[in-house]
Chain A
Amino acid sequence: MEKLQKLCLSCTLLLMIFSSFAQNDSILKAKKEKYITKEYWHTFSYNSAEWQMYLDSALAIEPKNTRLWQQKSMPNFKSGKYYDGMRFLNKAVELDTLAYLGYRGFMKCVFMKDYGNAIIDLKAIYKKRPIDQTMDHSYPFWIGISYLKLNKLDSADYYLGLSINNALLKGKEAVHYVDWFYWGLTKFKQKKYKEALSYFENAMAQNSHFPDVEYYKAMVLLQINQKEEAKALLVQAKANIANGYRMNEDNESYANYPYQITTFEVDEILEKL
């Protein structure tokens, strides 16, 4: 009888433990569903305290979820708060280098204009994933424009050429017009005007409303004394800007791309002509 009582007690205890586990499991599943699967933080503006708070709730469940770290980082970059931005992004890179190193290189290049450090990340990921891209462009493209901003023109020329020549293997239409624009800009700075004009024309053939390329093509034309053609292009660039056309690139609304122009720069030259 005593044995039977003990057995019953043990069974009850086991049932209670299992039931508690099952209950905890279902609470965890519900929390995961709310905070992670349904991305509850997206209910709020990404500049709100709630955005960060609900990401913290999600990270309490999945501390190694790299997307959560990236999501914590991103609003900080868009406010110029790089200490926190980089702190959170570094966590993502630490947890999944292959997925986030290129993105960090892009953030350093476009959002911080920290070109030297961008090149370090971008070269490292290019070595590991040579055919991957970030934000619609190859790693050599981002390395190339970083060198361009550092005024290391031979290196810029090499990497932008590499980006374009790799794309050309798939056909001319595979080359992004912004790649042509920056390679043309590099040639212009190298005073290789014939090549600069040719690359700018390639960019314009793909996008006829691209004021930046019109402006820099006009700069080349002025160098080779084609003043009237230059003036016409500047007028066209000004009209395109007035009609809302600008560099159509990922994240351009947050940060200017290298050498991106405004109406001011166009007017400044037009006034002199």
Chain B
Amino acid sequence: MKLIFFLFPIISIAQQESFKLCDNAFTDKWKPQYYSFNTKYPLSSEKLTEEVNRTLTYQPKQMNGFITIRFVVNCKGQTGNFEIYQIDNSYKQINFEEKYIEALLTFVKTLENWKIGTYESRKFDYYTYFTFKIEYGKVTEIVP
């Protein structure tokens, strides 16, 4: 896996080689989202926050702002096609340290209990995301 960073827009894309979309449901006009299937990750935001801080060994004090990791959950419950968005506390675009983002990405990839997006017995790939609110290197909140 390789992270590629761009300055603006600050989006990095990490592709898992083994990850594949299951069908052709994604089109330019329609991209199913987690809320279309009621498939938020089945842990409370508070519990997820606790978990991520337990696994994050690198928590530099100068890190403040929001990191969003947006990705696809395919119809097998696997994750891939990661995109990263980063802003500071004034909601301006910034770049966090790559090492820190990789640690968050690793955490996201350890989550395995994704619900499958299903509608009328058909399984769908869908987009979802986590936003990590970071204060002094520590994750204080996770959205959604």
> Which of B66, B91, B93, B143 touches A255 (beta carbons < 8 Å)?
B143
Tell me if A256 and B144 are in contact (CB < 8 A): yes
A49 — nearest CB in chain B belongs to which residue? B28
Contact with A along B86-103 (1 / 0, CB 8 A): 010101110000000000
Looking at the assembled complex, report how far the CB atom of B120 sits from the nearest CB atom of chain A, in whole angstroms.
17
Interface of chain B, main secondary structure: mixed
Interface check A225, CB cutoff 8 A: no
For window 161-183 of chain A, which residues contact chain B by CB distance below 8 Å?
A: none
Q: With a CB–CB cut-off of 8 A, which chain B residues contact A44?
A: 29
> Which of B33, B42, B91, B93 touches A78 (beta carbons < 8 Å)?
B33
Given contacts A50-B29, A255-B143, A255-B144, contact A80 B129 (CB under 8 A): yes
Interface check B47, CB cutoff 8 A: yes
Q: With a CB–CB cut-off of 8 A, which chain B residues contact A113?
A: 45, 131, 133, 141-143
Interface check B127, CB cutoff 8 A: yes
Interface check A195, CB cutoff 8 A: no
Contact with B along A224-241 (1 / 0, CB 8 A): 000000000000000000
CA distance A259 to B50 in the complex (A): 13
Looking at the assembled complex, report how far the CB atom of B139 sits from the nearest CB atom of chain A, in whole angstroms.
11
Tell me if B93 and A112 are in contact (CB < 8 A): no
Q: How large is the interface on A (under 10, 10 to 19, 20 to 34, 35 or more residues)?
A: 20 to 34
> Which of B40, B127, B131 touches A112 (beta carbons < 8 Å)?
B131
A75 — nearest CB in chain B belongs to which residue? B33
CA distance A253 to B47 in the complex (A): 18
Q: With a CB–CB cut-off of 8 A, which chain A residues contact B45?
A: 113, 256, 260
Contact with B along A111-137 (1 / 0, CB 8 A): 111100100000000000000000000
B127 — nearest CB in chain A belongs to which residue? A79
For window 8-32 of chain B, which residues contact chain A by CB distance below 8 Å?
A: 9, 28-31
CA distance A49 to B27 in the complex (A): 11
Given contacts A80-B85, A112-B133, A254-B35, contact A264 B29 (CB under 8 A): no
Instruction: Supply 29 A–B pairs (Cβ within 8 Å), ascending by A.
Output: A45-B29, A45-B30, A47-B127, A80-B68, A80-B70, A80-B131, A81-B68, A82-B66, A82-B68, A82-B85, A82-B131, A83-B9, A83-B85, A83-B91, A83-B93, A111-B143, A112-B66, A112-B131, A113-B45, A113-B131, A114-B141, A253-B40, A254-B144, A259-B44, A259-B46, A261-B44, A263-B42, A264-B44, A265-B44
What 9 new A-B contacts, CB under 8 Å, besides A78-B35, A113-B131, A113-B142? A45-B29, A47-B31, A80-B68, A82-B85, A83-B9, A83-B85, A83-B93, A111-B143, A113-B133
